[in-house]
Amino acid sequence: MMLSNLSYHSSRKYKDTVVIADGAAFGAEIADLAEAQKQSPNKIAIFLPESFEWLILKSGLVDVSDTRKLDEAYDYADSVEYMSWEQYFTKILVDLTKENKLKKVFEIAAFQVLSAGEICECY
């Protein structure tokens, strides 16, 4: 499904395609995506951060006062408490947005869209 969507979008009026996805969740699709990238006459750029939560935190949408917790996560993410980087960054995102209803709405909406696996067109 993802590849047929990608082929459709990359062959339309758009010359280039950018794929931004949660690298941890997207792993099963990477071989197919790499093949589509090779076969496409257009450019397909791939950005797969290990954690989409990290991407949201780094975007500036959420006020992160101590960026070391993002940039040097290896010093802060205790493997006893967090089984993955994604769990660590999710905890930070939830903690930082729990008091701000607007940001909380964004967080919920973003996760619903992303978990649906839909391709979003941005202009």
Q: Which residue has the tokens 């009026």?
A: 13
pLDDT at position 68, please? 93
Work out the percent of the chain whose per-residue pLDDT is above 70.
69
Digit-coded pLDDT (tens) for 18-77: 777 777 777 778 888 888 888 877 788 888 887 888 888 888 878 888 899 999 999 999
First to last CA, the chain: 23
Q: How confident is the model at residue 3 (pLDDT cuts 50, 70, 90)?
A: low
CB 77 within 8 A of CB 85: yes
Is the pLDDT reported for residue 121 higher than 70? Answer: no
pTM (predicted TM-score): 0.59
Give me the half-sphere count of Cα atoms (radius 13 Å) on the Cβ side of residue 64.
21
Instruction: Return the structure tokens found at 56.
Output: 């949201």
- Strands of 28-89, DSSP E: 44-47
